Chain A
């Protein structure tokens, strides 16, 4: 039986940021998500101007991925096609759907914009993460009322066991009307890490219990 290990993870939730178990202290208070995420983007010195064009859901997922991926050197250890992205959430792109709807609901004030419309698809956030990090492997965006760690585990395990991908960026990125919560982790194969002489003792197994524990940020 092949083991799949969680080698990095991060949470962004209502003014709270945790990466690999470390809480990033944020003393400032923010009223809106837009203010908060802009602050975090600057604080982390990401330097990716396309960030400003993204909708709020993509900003949240993108920045969570950014913080998590910063701590792992995937690029030198894997090919683009070996890295997949599997994300789920509850409200798909509804937050942006309402924003877009404002631009078409009134005949006399009708100004649909392609740059808003494109974000009315939830998997655009996977596209943003893939473009930034040049990830070309398997994709899936799923929708469930609550985070379903069992579903994510079974889909990721299956993709990795069948050697379709060697690494998966996976998790939960939810945002609707100022309520937001994101959890992203990196899953890699134990045998590959050992082959690269990496100490794997500090990593936990990809299981639904571990995913829900980390998402609730009780640490590794």
Chain B
């Protein structure tokens, strides 16, 4: 069977515009969640992880004027600018020609250009831009990609699902390369919804901690170039070795009581990768810091016999980035593997979940060969990805 190799990646969040910048911030325990008072986003002050708008504009303008002057007079949305910068960085670093018919672009998002809703009268953008396929077409046109992109919108597992679908396409030989990207932006729309659920923490979120009190929202974008072409990889080769999803069939907005469905997805992904739970060196969990999510995950990890593997949640740094979370945190996992470093689970000091799990309490060097990225979301969906360093 064809191997699926990670050729390059990028992360854009409050912590920076490249993977290197982001990892450097993790090393220094830099927290991207800041207390924000912005009536355009929320009637109350709350912790958010925001991409720096001035820097985003500046970087985008510089990219277009240097390399894409034909788009100097074209308007792009905030979300599209993040996608373009993230994809550009990954394509550039991949060393691959990705313009041909061997490459597919897979985009994941929950809400895409949702900040355009209600802005129709301003006439800045065609209201069609709210349709995810139209946003995808704009990105395809920018990079002159051969195929129409595939768009995945599956709540908070969207990013992981996009990686999984990309990996399956490469493994089956349908495509040789996949540019997988995921993004979501902060908006009044999404923040008000989570507020109505009373799901937001008044202080930066504390995954798995005893005093956790809800999630914190973030925004961002990440991209990963997957390829069957092993020869272009220099340094450590990291593969997408296993992937599975499952559904709780229990509740549309609450997690499973038992965690057995997430545990099932984990088991399926491990067996696809041909490894055992005891092989796992590190788990990047979903860890939203809501009471019920983190409880469920501790139960799932126990059922999957993963109590002894170090686990963290990156959400303490960058919040919950929704449709981007699966891919942003997968890239963070891959960089943990590249640098052989376990990153502290920010916000955690004392365990507050029913099952005993090993939450990473300080940055620690560790030899990371087999790693797991899990995610769960509204609609009862769960996902599990296995990455292996060869």
Contact = CB atoms under 8 A, between A and B. Distances in A.
A68 to B, nearest CB: 18
Interface in A66-86: 80-81, 85
Interface in A86-136: 90-92, 94, 97-98, 100-101, 104-105, 107, 110, 112-114, 117-118, 120-124, 126-128, 130-131, 133-136
A139 interface: yes
A16 interface: no
Contacts of A122: 153
A123 B250 contact: no
Nearest to B380: A127
Contacts of A85: 247
Interface in B180-198: 188-189, 192-193, 195-197
Contacts of B172: 154, 158
Nearest to B39: A107
Contacts of B134: 145
A124 B252 CA distance: 6
A110 B172 CA distance: 50
Contacts of A135: 247, 249
Interface string B333-356: 000000000000000000000000
Contact of B379 (A121, A134, A137): A121
* Residue of B111, B137, B248, B380 contacting most chain A CB atoms (<10 Å): B380
Given A118-B378, A120-B111, A138 B118 contact: no
A151 interface: yes
Contacts of A23: none
A41 interface: no
Contacts of A117: 192-193, 196-197
Given A136-B264, A144-B133, A101 B118 contact: yes
A127 B244 contact: no
Interface residues of A, number: 49
A73 B90 CA distance: 47
Nearest to A128: B252
B225 to A, nearest CB: 21
A51 interface: no
Interface string B145-166: 0001011111101000100010
A34 interface: no
Contact of A97 (B117, B133, B197, B381): B117
Given A90-B133, A114-B197, A139-B245, A121 B189 contact: no
B133 A145 contact: yes
A29 to B, nearest CB: 30
Contacts of B155: 121, 123-124
Contacts of B192: 104, 110, 112, 117
* Residue of B43, B155, B168, B268 contacting most chain A CB atoms (<10 Å): B155
Contacts of A107: 43
B150 to A, nearest CB: 7
A164 interface: yes
A140 B193 contact: no
Nearest to B128: A145
A136 B197 contact: no
A136 B189 contact: no
B77 interface: no
Given A114-B197, A143-B151, 14 more contacts: A91-B131, A94-B131, A107-B43, A112-B193, A120-B111, A121-B377, A121-B379, A123-B381, A131-B249, A131-B380, A137-B247, A145-B134, A154-B174, A155-B165
The 6 closest A-B pairs by CB, nearest first: A127-B379, A117-B193, A112-B196, A143-B151, A130-B247, A130-B249
18 contacts: A90-B133, A94-B131, A97-B117, A104-B189, A112-B196, A113-B196, A114-B197, A118-B378, A121-B153, A126-B154, A126-B379, A131-B249, A136-B247, A138-B245, A143-B151, A143-B153, A144-B148, A162-B272
